[in-house]
Amino acid sequence: MITLADIGNSFLICPVHVHILGICGSFMAGAAVLARALGYEVSGSDAATYPPMSTQLTQAGIRVCEGYAPENLTPTPDLVIIGNALSRGNPEVEAVLEAGLPYNSGAQWIAEHVLQGRWVIAVAGTHGKTSTASMIAWILQHAGHNPGFLIGGVPENFGVSARLGDAPFFVIEADEYDTAFFDKRSKFIHYHPRTAVLNNLEFDHADIFSDVDAIKTQFHHLIRTVPRSGRLLVNANDANLAAVLTMGCWSEVEYFNSVSGWSIAADRDDGSAFRILLGGEVQAQVRWRLIGRHNMSNALAAVAAARHAGITAESSARALARFENVKRRLQVRGSVRDVTVYDDFAHHPTEIAASLQALRARVGRARIFAVLELRSNSMRMGVHQQALPAALTDADQILLLQPPKLAWNLAAIAAALDGRGRVLPSVEAILDTLQRELRESDQVLIMSNGDFGGIHAKLLERLRT
């Protein structure tokens, strides 16, 4: 028998059938997998489906409806979980409200059904959340725990973006984006971590935040939820995070990227080998598959967080040696005739610069073609346009896809790239250009937080012909 409790938005305590709107988003796909693991029947709707999340949902036996329509709610679900990408006017949202169906946000559902009673390790920050959370989960796994996790990507060591686990620990990527159209708080406010990593804080998500101070306020609210016995792991190099801490802090704080706290001594320029220090004393040595200064910093944060959970730095270093990264983070999609094609999720100037710097350190003087789709709301609004040319410094050639109805002039970016930049009207035009110009030893770094029209597979296929 289904039981109801009059909590929040008529929240359903024991739902049999959960239907998720926006199910192919990285967070919501993970929530779907967790609901399925809890024994619920799960279905969902989304406007577009593409790997890796669509693959994960199929493997979990979750039915996905393409597009949003009232008939997707038949048979009537016991609870509808609504993703933050949906708003009033969406036909399925309107049908939920009109029918009076119980609904909730993904973040609150996770908090009430998955995180209760767990030691929550939350990773927040503008950049590096997915990689750092994946490292922490793998470190715990390698140390003999079986942690639960919900991550906005697919860690190769696990092959899924979410699982319940049976250890006390649950690792979650703590996003500052808003929760739902009916709950404008940041998602991470719901998670109540005992261990909180604060990686960095820059202005982003211009569609919901007016300025960086608005984001600082949300980070302050996150800090308010950490218990006195909890711990904050804070990037000492970030002035915005320092400002957040001045607004109030009630928990223990440890700093990373700090000489007096956790720090790194690089042994190789590309970031593939380094030592971890605490208070200037070497704690462990890392040799791993990843590259880039940003990944060394992510690893440092992960080691510090794992130590709070009782894992030594030496144990963490052994785990990192076997860490296989996350899909779509400088992921090699293939190599044909010595041309290597990478898939990268970078969609902010800081991330774009970090990925290019890491690749440049690895490949030396080989030519790098940077292929960029401006897909995030902040990019399309033009918030980061002034920073974009400098972010592309390490690329030899830059191909920019012209998105429809862009609010600013993309040609100005190409003009600022000293003859290295071109704006092209379509994926096909980019493929034609690459096929014509690529030569042996070239590196093609394709950057987008979407599927980019399947350009990676299409390019590899063309290179084979």
**How many whole angstroms from its chain centre is CA 197?**
14
Residue 244 sits in the same domain as residue 122: yes
Looking at the fold, whether 228 and 268 belong to one and the same domain comes out as: yes
Domain co-membership, 458 together with 357: yes
Say which CATH number the domain at 204 has: 3.40.1190.10
What's the confidence (pLDDT) of residue 410?
86
- What pLDDT is recorded for position 195? 98
pLDDT of 434 reads 97
Tell me the pLDDT tens digit for each residue of 173-225: 999 999 999 999 999 999 999 999 999 998 887 788 889 999 999 999 999 99
Residue 14: predicted pLDDT = 54
Residue segments in the chain with a per-residue pLDDT below the cut of 70: 1-15
**CA 425/CA 446 separation, integer angstroms:** 16
Same domain, 246 and 365: no
**Residue numbers of the domain that contains 411:** 331-464
In a domain, residue 209? The reply is: yes
The residue type found at 438 is L
- Amino acid letter at 1? M
CB 258 within 8 A of CB 235: no
Closest alpha carbon to 328 in 34, 55, 44? 55
CATH value at residue 78? 3.40.50.720
Say yes or no: 187 and 57 in one domain. no
* DSSP three-state, residue 77: coil
Quick check: is 11 in a domain? Answer: no
User: Do 291 and 225 share a structural domain?
Assistant: yes
What's the one-letter identity of residue 6?
D
Q: Which residue has the tokens 């725990």?
A: 145
Domain identity same for 136 and 251? yes
Interval 33-90: pLDDT, tens = 999 999 999 999 999 877 778 888 988 889 999 999 999 999 999 999 999 999 999 9
